[in-house]
Amino acid sequence: MSNHHEYIGNKLFEFVDINQEGYAIFDANDFLVYCNKAYGQIMGFERNEVIGKTFSQILAMSFEAEKGVKTEHKDVGSFLARVSQQWRSSQYRLFEVETHDGRWFLLSELANETGDVLIQTKQITEQKNLEKKLLSSRDKLRRLALTDELTHVANRRCFVESVEAELSRCQRLRKNVAYMILDLDYFKSVNDTYGHQAGDEVLKHVASLVKETLRDYDIFGRIGGEEFAVFLGQTEAKEALEIAERIRSIIENNPLSHQGVRIQLSASIGISLAYAMNCSYVEMYNQADKALYQAKNEGRNRCVLYESYCGG
Ligand SMILES: Nc1nc2c(ncn2[C@@H]2O[C@H](COP(=O)(O)OP(=O)(O)OP(=O)(O)O)[C@@H](O)[C@H]2O)c(=O)[nH]1
C-alpha cells in the first residue's frame, strides 16, 4: 500500500472510530473483529465486551440483558432463529431496528467477497416518531371517516361500501342475501318528552343491542338519524326473518334507563331478500324501505318482508 493510501486509511479509521453512527465488521466466521464505540452502545455494551464475540453471542447477550436491539420474540431461541434467517441473506441489506432505550436505527449490512460483513447504522428515531404520529393520525382520520360519531357503529358511507363489496362477493358465489332497515318507532316523541340527550342515549343503546345480536360477519351501520341497517350475506328468508324478529324483540324487551326514567322502545323493520346475482344495493334498499313503510302502517313494532325477491 502506498504511503498516501495508508494515510487515507488511517484518517478514515479515525473518523469511523469517533463517529456517532455505529460501524462494525464481522469476519467470515461471524466474529466481531471491529466496532466503534457507537455500535457497542447501540447493542447495549462497551465495545470491549462485544469484540471477539460472534454475532449470535452478541444478540443473545442483548436479549438476556434487555439492552440493545429489541424484539417481539419471547425466547432467545426463536429470536436468534429469526435473525439468522435474514443475516447474510443477500450481499447488501437494509433494515430497521428499535433499541430498548427507545431509539430507532436504520442498519445496512454489506458483505464482501471474502465473507466479511460491514454493519453501518443511522439513527432514525425522529423520523420514526414522526412516521408513528402520521400513521396514528391517518388511522384516526380513517376511523372518524368510517364511524358514526354517536353510536360508534359504521356510518352510512362505510356501511354502503362494505355492503357493496359483500354483495358482489355473494354474487360471485351465487348466494342469497338479506337487507334490513330498522327504524325506531315514535322516536320524535322520545326527543320531545325526555330531551335530545335522552334521544342520543336511546340511539347508542339500540346500536349496542343490535350489535350484540348479530354475528361477527353481518354488516351493521347507522344510515340515518334513527335509521339503522343490517346486511346479512349468504342468508335465506327464514333465517333473515328470525334475526329481524330477534332484534325487534330485544329492543322491545330492553327499555333504556335514563336518569331514573324508563324509556320504552320499539322498532319497525323492513326486510328485502335478493338472489344476489341480479340485485343492486339501491334496489335492495328501496324494497326494504317499502317493507318498512308497510310495517309502520300496520301498527309499528313489527318486521315485514318485501313480498318478492329482488332480482328474482
Ligand atoms: N336525539 C337525536 N334525535 C335524532 C337524531 N337524528 C334524528 N333524530 C330525530 O329523529 C326523529 C325522527 O322522527 P320521525 O322521522 O318523525 O319519526 P318517528 O317519530 O320515529 O316516527 P315513526 O318513525 O313514524 O315511528 C326526529 O325528531 C329527529 O330530530 C340524533 O342523532 N339524535
> pTM for the whole thing?
0.69
Least confident of 26-35, 69-78, 113-122, 177-186: 69-78
Q: Residue-wise over 187-209: b if at least 16 C-beta within 10 A, else e?
A: beebbeebeeebbebbbebbbeb
- pLDDT, residue 307, reads 82
| pLDDT classification of 171: cutoffs 50, 70, 90 | confident
Best residue for ligand 1 mutational test, from 185, 187, 201, 264 (most atoms within 8 Å of Cβ): 187
- Overall average pLDDT of the 272-279 stretch: 82
Does 147-305 carry CATH code 3.40.190.10? no
Q: At what angle do helices 55-65 and 76-86 cross, to 10 degrees?
A: 140
Which of 98, 226, 239, 307 is catalytic? The answer is 226
The percentage of the chain sitting over the pLDDT mark of 70, rounded to a whole number, equals: 98
- The C-alpha cell of 300 is what? 309499528
Task: Compute the distance from residue 184 Cα to the ligand 1 centre, in Å.
Answer: 8
- Overall average pLDDT of the 11-35 stretch: 96
Q: Please check the confidence at residue 312 and state whether its pLDDT lies above 70.
A: no
Homologous superfamily in CATH for domain 3-129: PAS domain (3.30.450.20)
- Overall average pLDDT of the 269-281 stretch: 87
Which residues of the chain does CATH 3.30.70.270 include? 147-305
Task: Compute the distance from residue 215 Cα to the ligand 1 centre, in Å.
Answer: 27
What are the tens digits of pLDDT across the range 281-290? 999 999 999 9
Complex ipTM tops 0.95? yes
Residue in 247, 269, 309 with CA at minimum distance from that of residue 184: 269
Best residue for ligand 1 mutational test, from 149, 151, 188 (most atoms within 8 Å of Cβ): 188
Residue 285 CA to its chain's centroid (Å) = 29
Answer yes or no: is the C-beta of 200 below 6 A from any ligand 1 atom.
yes
Q: What is the mean pLDDT of the chain?
A: 93
- pLDDT, residue 71, reads 87
Q: Please check the confidence at residue 309 and state whether its pLDDT lies above 80.
A: no
What are the tens digits of pLDDT across the range 206-254? 999 999 999 888 999 999 999 999 999 989 889 999 999 999 999 999 9
CA gap 240, 195 in Å, rounded? 34
Which residues of the chain does CATH 3.30.450.20 include? 3-129
Q: What is the 3-state secondary structure (H, E, C) of the chain?
A: CCHHHHHHHHHHHHHHHHCCCCEEEECCCCEEEEECHHHHHHHCCCHHHHCCCEHHHHHHHHHHHCCCECCCCCCHHHHHHHHHHHCCCCCEEEEEEEECCCCEEEEEEEECCCCCEEEEEEECHHHHHHHHHHHHHHHHHHHHHHECCCCCCECHHHHHHHHHHHHHHHHHHCCEEEEEEEEECCHHHHHHHHCHHHHHHHHHHHHHHHHHHCCCCCEEEECCCCEEEEEECCCCHHHHHHHHHHHHHHHHHCCEEECCEEECCCEEEEEEEEEHHHCCHHHHHHHHHHHHHHHHHCCCCCEEECCCCECC
- pLDDT, residue 311, reads 66
